[in-house]
Amino acid sequence: MTNIASEKKQGGRPLSYPPELVYGVVEQLLDAGTPCSQIDAPLVKDELCKVHGIKGSIRLDSLQRLVEDAVSELKEEQDRALLEALPDTVTASIDHFMKGARDAFAIMVAEQNAKCQADADAMCEGLRSDKRSARRHIAELETENARLQADMEEIIQQRDRSLADAASLREQLSVGKEEVDWTCRGLKPLL
């Protein structure tokens, strides 16, 4: 019992029971074979009230935190004591077994890693190939675009020349029409 909470909560009223008593009740329950999962605040409160004569006004939420701490700490102590009681030959056998299990697990992970790395490398190579193909296709499209731009410029120049020619022809037609009209006006009195 190394971490026992103080008897007074910070900023609250003093507990109606000493925390050491809670640790004692939890220890008795564990020694009696009660599973850790069944040791909770209501069970400890019941023991505190019945066996130790504590008033029933105990708040379960603050007791629950203390019970959880006590169970965890006492269970750790029990586990440590059990491990220390093992004969050296058993500990050596466990160490040997765990080394073998660790090696087998490490080999399995290494195999999976190698497979994943090979898959990743193949995927990267496929992406690199796709990238090269895309670059080649982009270059072809850029060349085609440049050719189409040049063709379009030529067509625009031809259009501009045709428009200029048409404007010139309209002007000549207009001048010719005026001459014909002038000539016809001059011949009307003669006819």
* Each residue's pLDDT tens digit, 133-180: 999 999 999 999 999 999 999 999 999 999 999 999 999 999 989 988
pLDDT, residue 14, reads 62
Reply yes or no on whether the pLDDT at 117 is more than 50.
yes
Tokens of 48: 């505190």
Number of neighbouring beta carbons within 10 Å of residue 85: 8
Is the CB of residue 11 less than 8 Å from the CB of residue 62? no
CA distance 52 to 45: 10
Tokens of 102: 């660790």
pLDDT, residue 111, reads 97
Average predicted confidence (pLDDT) for the chain: 87
CA distance 183 to 188: 9
More confident residue, 32 or 15: 32
Interaxial angle between packed helices 60-85 and 41-52, expressed in degrees from 0 to 180 and rounded to the nearest 10: 90
Torsion sign (Cα): 145, 148, 154, 157: negative
